[in-house]
Structure 1
Amino acid sequence: MTEAFDTSALEHLRRTIRTCPVVDNHAHNLLRPTQLKTYPFLSITSEAHGGALEDHTTALSHLRAARQLPELYGCNEDVSWDALLAKRQQMLEKDPEGLIRTCLGGTHTLLLDDGIDDGTTVHPYQWHDRFTTGSTRRIVRIETVARDVMKRLHDLDQPWEVSIQENTGFVSAILRRFTAAFCSHISQAIEDRSVVGFKSVICYRTGLDVKPQSDDELQSAALAGLQYSYLPSCVMNDFRISIKGLNEYILITALNLLSLGSKNNGFSKPIQLHTGLGDNDINLLRSNPAHLQALIEHFPSVPFVLLHSSYPFTREAGYLATVYKNAYLDIGEVFPMLSRHGQNAVVKQSMELTPTNKILWSTDGHHFPETYWLANKQFREVIEKVLVEFIREGDLTPARSIEMVTDVMFNNSNKLYNLGLTLDVADMEGTATDVLIGGPKEPRNVSRTPSSPLASPYNGAIVPTFDRSQVSPYHGVVLDSLKQQHPGLQYIYVQWLDYMATLRVRFIPIREFERLIRSGGRIAMSLGNTGTLQNDTVTSACNTTGKILVEPDLASLRPTYSKDPLASATVMASFVTEDGDALPGCPRGRLLALAEALKTNHRIDLLIGFEVEVVFLKRTSSASEPYEPWTKMNAWGTFTPEQYTVALPVLAEIVEALQEIGIPVQQFHSESGAGQYEFILPPLPPVQAIDTLVQARQVVQQIAATHQLRATLHPMPFDGVVTAAHAHISLNSASLASAGTEKMSMPFFASVLDHLPALCAFTLPETVSYKRIIADSWTSGLWVAWGTENREVPLRKISDGHWEFRCLDGMANMYLAIAAILAAGLLGVSEGLEMKMQDCEPNPNKLDEASRILLGITNRMPTDLETALKALEADEALRNELGSGLVNDYIVMKRAEQKMLEDMPEDRRRVWLIERY
């Protein structure tokens, strides 16, 4: 039956199809220029290899692409294939990024599976941001994580035993260590906001016939596969995991973690599975998604995305997406891999049964930018043809078709992956050329700025965010989860560290905080607040004009301990501009940017672990000496009767309170000074590590106060009591071998040593800090030097890639101190700096001058703060890398602070600092 319809409505549909920006829910990295000739260009329309690919020149998919690509390259339609390639080469030589920008025209956001990134072949995922409106988001490939973990374990243990098949105990230990490391990586990715989903290629490895099993069955199969198949040949196979029991163990472990995340957070990030269409590395029969039915049913809270149209099993995938709430059908890769009629059939089959709110669009773009261009162009042609046919037959109206198009191309992925993007269809204008041949950088229909006015221009006002991509459903879910776990929650402490490491806080009732978060708002504060000292003394760094916005980071949201005076939670915050950009003077934001630069440009992930040293003091009745050590029978690692009866119950209360709010303590013990104890926190990414450190210290000090004690970070509250805040810094890489990581770590720490006198201005930030620069005390030593397991130098190497920075104390703004260390390290890595200083095995204080010179040890540590500040003023490279404005303000404030402290008598100054740190 055919119904009449409005031709203007039909034209509106066509315009929508041609101009709607896309969320590409599955794609891959583009090749670096040096690799373009390594991969055959014929592969843009075929999964075949070798001789089979040579036959592809007669396939309809290739012939169609050969007639469409001249439009992209600006040449005649009937040009020969060789002439077409020559024209393409000219464009690559003249303006390669221009070609890429054209090919990605109309793409709002890419969700990139960067599991094939080996660090040399393809561009890193964030590099692609320059060609799209929105930020590229990551899809983590679980088999790549598993391979890298196995390789890392091997490199740490090398060599593994030759008789491995006979040593079940050894293999069991490897499986336990692998599981712990793998779970840690996946859990971190679940919490990482740049990661929006996961992917498995088990289809390629051992097939989709995966059945849910008990833990014992999974472990038994994984152990057998590890012992008898994987370990004996893993080095030869470059640690690729292709053993059925082991691959299924990896997939189900990841699914269990995602399911647990759903219980904890109220939602789960999706997992994508390669299904159907692939190269000759798959077993076609086992690539049928029907095999996944039991698994999808077993994990109802985990969204499963069935990739690549599951071709030739599109109907089977569509059936699963219809009968299971948590199953979705991706209709990518068949564009441009199939002929026009094949694509037509796939789109129709996907709509035979499947609700269109369960269908997702992707290009599976990879290696060559033309794969993106062809996929988007052909999909828009086919979806238009199919929908117009449905309309002519009376099955759809043009209005409903427009909804379907925008859902498939944008809204469904936006919702499923919690991207927080906004699409206003009514504002879409233009022609197909706008999207497919370049087009505007930011399509008019994508709203990034809410229209609501500022709440108030005054200090304390809550103002709306200007980057709606940050207002993700994740925020509301995190807050809802916290409220469910703590139904009596009444207040949120929004906290940040100022330049002087004073913890500043705003107390916000939970309802107002919820409104703030759900509206994407921030807290306005006078710009002048960044230039004041601990007692609000105004310095010349204070600018009384202007404001900054304080933005809570919900990744750091955690409840306060159970005996806090208020039913509350804490969240750390950063400073941003009205446009949502990090404020250049924000220490937390600067640290985040430097860590990202290290990761993006050099493929290095940092982990930071802190040793929290505190001295517990009790009050006295003396006006001149109001504090004394809490315990006095201290020595390192001792367990005296005084510690057993007096200290241990309080220390245990602290550890239990920290564990209760999600901060595990790895160890705690007495230190050598009277009343001095240490808590060791786990290694975490830099910003997360410092957020956790600040919140842990807060709990320590609050619990101490409930026992009428003062827990201080003062570096020397009494003679002979020397307190530090050592930081363990580990350089890791998912794409570099351990040798490559070590190759990076040497220039990193060589540069840290070169800039160490200037770094001390941040890491030893008070005059009293330099009382630790003494000989033979296991503090920082007197010389700029490094040594393996040497505790008389400021930089101790523990193992390849793992170093301890020792000239650091608790009075430092840790975001600023670690940012300065990263800035120095980045300079060295970027320049490929050679570590000329030798590993110092002996105590350098015991060496004569000639011996020190032979080791390259020629500079002494600064012995006072002013010397360090002058070194910082003179260190132009470090100042520029860290931000000259930030550094200048810090120097001004430090000198103003020292003047304020110098005006106090020594005993009052010591107490003043004890009571603030």
Structure 2
Amino acid sequence: MGGGPVHEALAALELVDHHCHGVVTGALDRTAFESLLTEGDVRPGSGVSSFDTPVGIAVRRHCAPVLDLDRHAPADVYLARRAELGPDEVNRRFLAAARANVLCVDTGFAPQRVTAPAELAVAAGAVAHEVVRLETVAESVAARGVEPDGYADAFRAAVLDAVRRPGVVAVKSVAAYRTGFGLDPGRPSAAEVTTAARGWSARGGRLDDPVLVRELLWTAVDLGLPLQLHTGFGDNDIRLHRADPALLTDWLHAVAGAIPVLLLHCWPYQRQAGYLAAVFENVYLDVGLTLHHVGPVRARAVLAEALEIAPFRKLLYSSDAYGLAEFYGLGALAFRRGLGDLLQERVDADELGLPDALRMARWAGADNARRVYRLSDGH
């Protein structure tokens, strides 16, 4: 990490990670590890390795020392040491290294066994809250065989039950994956929802009907809780051009001021997200998993673009760590270094006062999230 008082303040700051996931608890061979290291496909024998990517290089550089290895340890050496320590110790070390004392955990994506919020809290020495994924709730309702004309009421009842669980602080949608954001911004009628539910019931599968996704988003508005929205890149299931948050503009006009809307990840649309945060009072953003995928060297550039015009009160920190505990440690490192470099450079150029820079660092690292999610200090 660079020098200067801003870097020192960020190094000492306990973060609020406002969007993250569980980590695996079982042993990982090389193929399994590499599959979690990338948003793409892993094809053993192809000659293409996830270790030969910016995030793979960053793991070998910055995560190896956490496991008592030399910087730039070879991949096989890294994985052997990881196996020697065992999953519990590896997870504990990286969660501790992140030094986030509050975790807001999306529990809706679990294609394999990962830690629950309470387990993460113990490993990190943190307080963990839950973020309810709305598509998961809708699909559980459909799986029970609800009649199409009862779908809307059943979905709303199930969502209310979910958000009343202790520790729930927000809801999330992955509409970017399912339909993209080029949706009619209006609330669908009851007849439209029934017709769409009938079609979904007949064909089965995951929720990808535009009318039902609109109903889901408007249900989130009615709840009054903060709504997290995946935007920008993800795995190859997404159609990136449909995940541009600027496509949400008409919907954001329709729901202006109703609930906080948090745009997650955003790359390569961090400038569009920054614009939306600048012009809509209730819109916030992070750059999430972008930071560990680009690595600490490029983190500053991504944050600089996100903050070109966005209010400093609108940027939050998240790791979006999933599967690999390394992403908790690497995401926090990249955020601290990138934001520290950005703010310290402006202080050194006398474009920003040091007290302002220190306040902005605290806002982005913790205070903005506490305000949006109505968390008490440290909780």
Is the radius of gyration larger for structure 1 or structure 2? 1
CA RMSD of aligned residues (A): 2.2
Distance 1:350 1:114 in 2: 27
The residue that corresponds to 1:227 in the other structure is: 198
Q: 1:39, CA displacement in angstroms? A: 7.0
Asked whether the equivalents of residues 212 and 252 of structure 1 are also in contact (C-alpha less than 8 Å), the reply is no
The residue that corresponds to 1:188 in the other structure is: 161
Q: 1:324, CA displacement in angstroms? A: 0.7
Assess, with a 3 A threshold, how the Cα gap between structure 1 residues 70 and 204 changes in structure 2: closer, same or farther: same
Distance 2:47 2:273 in 1: 28
Q: Pick from 54, 59, 79: which aligns with 1:65?
A: 59
Asked whether the equivalents of residues 185 and 214 of structure 2 are also in contact (C-alpha less than 8 Å), the reply is no
Distance 2:198 2:314 in 1: 41
Unaligned runs of 5+ in 1: 1-9, 155-173, 259-267, 423-468, 470-917
Instruction: Note if 1:304 corresponds to 2:261.
Output: yes
Distance 2:254 2:93 in 1: 43
After superposition, the C-alpha distances for 1:575-611 in whole angstroms (9 at most, x for unaligned) are: xxxxxxxxxxxxxxxxxxxxxxxxxxxxxxxxxxxxx
Matches within 5 A, 1:260-271: 268-271=224-227
Instruction: Note if 1:203 corresponds to 2:195.
Output: no
Instruction: Note if 1:143 corresponds to 2:121.
Output: no
Other structure's SS at 1:352 match? coil
Instruction: Note if 1:20 corresponds to 2:13.
Output: yes
Assess, with a 3 A threshold, how the Cα gap between structure 1 residues 368 and 408 changes in structure 2: closer, same or farther: same
Instruction: Note if 1:114 corresponds to 2:107.
Output: yes
Other structure's SS at 1:136 match? strand
Distance 1:367 1:410 in 2: 23
Other structure's SS at 2:48 match? helix
Q: 1:138, CA displacement in angstroms? A: 0.4
Asked whether the equivalents of residues 92 and 123 of structure 2 are also in contact (C-alpha less than 8 Å), the reply is yes
Asked whether the equivalents of residues 29 and 114 of structure 1 are also in contact (C-alpha less than 8 Å), the reply is yes
Q: 1:203, CA displacement in angstroms? A: 0.3
Assess, with a 3 A threshold, how the Cα gap between structure 1 residues 382 and 43 changes in structure 2: closer, same or farther: farther
Q: Pick from 89, 101, 104: which aligns with 2:95?
A: 104
Assess, with a 3 A threshold, how the Cα gap between structure 1 residues 39 and 318 changes in structure 2: closer, same or farther: farther
Distance 2:191 2:95 in 1: 44
Assess, with a 3 A threshold, how the Cα gap between structure 1 residues 340 and 38 changes in structure 2: closer, same or farther: closer
Q: 1:363, CA displacement in angstroms? A: 0.3
Matches within 5 A, 1:287-686: 287-299=243-255, 300-308=257-265, 310-422=266-378, 469=379
Distance 2:191 2:320 in 1: 34
Asked whether the equivalents of residues 315 and 368 of structure 2 are also in contact (C-alpha less than 8 Å), the reply is yes
Q: 1:416, CA displacement in angstroms? A: 0.5
Distance 2:53 2:72 in 1: 17
Other structure's SS at 1:274 match? strand
Distance 1:150 1:86 in 2: 44
After superposition, the C-alpha distances for 1:80-113 in whole angstroms (9 at most, x for unaligned) are: 1111111111011xxx433222211211011000
The residue that corresponds to 1:241 in the other structure is: 207
Other structure's SS at 2:321 match? coil
The residue that corresponds to 2:231 in the other structure is: 275
Distance 1:45 1:409 in 2: 24
Please tell me the residue identity of whatever aligns with 1:200. S
Other structure's SS at 1:26 match? strand
Assess, with a 3 A threshold, how the Cα gap between structure 1 residues 78 and 371 changes in structure 2: closer, same or farther: closer
Other structure's SS at 2:318 match? coil
Distance 1:44 1:184 in 2: 35
Aligned residues between the structures: 372
Q: In terms of mean alpha carbon deviation, does 293-302 or 50-59 score higher?
A: 50-59
Asked whether the equivalents of residues 387 and 401 of structure 1 are also in contact (C-alpha less than 8 Å), the reply is yes
Q: 1:55, CA displacement in angstroms? A: 4.9
Assess, with a 3 A threshold, how the Cα gap between structure 1 residues 411 and 338 changes in structure 2: closer, same or farther: same
TM-score of the two chains, using structure 1 as the length reference: 0.39
Matches within 5 A, 1:250-261: 250-255=216-221, 257-258=222-223
Asked whether the equivalents of residues 139 and 196 of structure 1 are also in contact (C-alpha less than 8 Å), the reply is yes
After superposition, the C-alpha distances for 1:219-264 in whole angstroms (9 at most, x for unaligned) are: 42x4443334x22331xx3xx1122222222222332x22xxxxxx
Asked whether the equivalents of residues 336 and 374 of structure 1 are also in contact (C-alpha less than 8 Å), the reply is yes
Q: 1:399, CA displacement in angstroms? A: 1.9
Q: Which has the higher contact order (CA 8 A, sep 6+)?
A: 2
Q: Pick from 23, 32, 45: which aligns with 1:30?
A: 23
Assess, with a 3 A threshold, how the Cα gap between structure 1 residues 53 and 339 changes in structure 2: closer, same or farther: farther
Q: Pick from 119, 129, 134: which aligns with 2:121?
A: 129
Higher helix share: 2
Q: 1:290, CA displacement in angstroms? A: 0.3
The residue that corresponds to 2:80 in the other structure is: 86
Other structure's SS at 2:307 match? helix
Distance 1:81 1:38 in 2: 9
Other structure's SS at 1:196 match? strand
Matches within 5 A, 1:673-822: none
Distance 1:123 1:382 in 2: 28
Distance 1:108 1:335 in 2: 19
Distance 2:300 2:5 in 1: 21
Asked whether the equivalents of residues 27 and 113 of structure 1 are also in contact (C-alpha less than 8 Å), the reply is yes
Please tell me the residue identity of whatever aligns with 1:91. L
The residue that corresponds to 1:488 in the other structure is: none
Assess, with a 3 A threshold, how the Cα gap between structure 1 residues 99 and 54 changes in structure 2: closer, same or farther: same
Distance 2:25 2:67 in 1: 20
Please tell me the residue identity of whatever aligns with 2:217. L
Q: 1:68, CA displacement in angstroms? A: 1.8
Assess, with a 3 A threshold, how the Cα gap between structure 1 residues 53 and 115 changes in structure 2: closer, same or farther: farther
Distance 1:53 1:338 in 2: 21
Unaligned runs of 5+ in 2: none
Asked whether the equivalents of residues 61 and 340 of structure 1 are also in contact (C-alpha less than 8 Å), the reply is no
Q: 1:322, CA displacement in angstroms? A: 0.7
Distance 1:91 1:270 in 2: 38
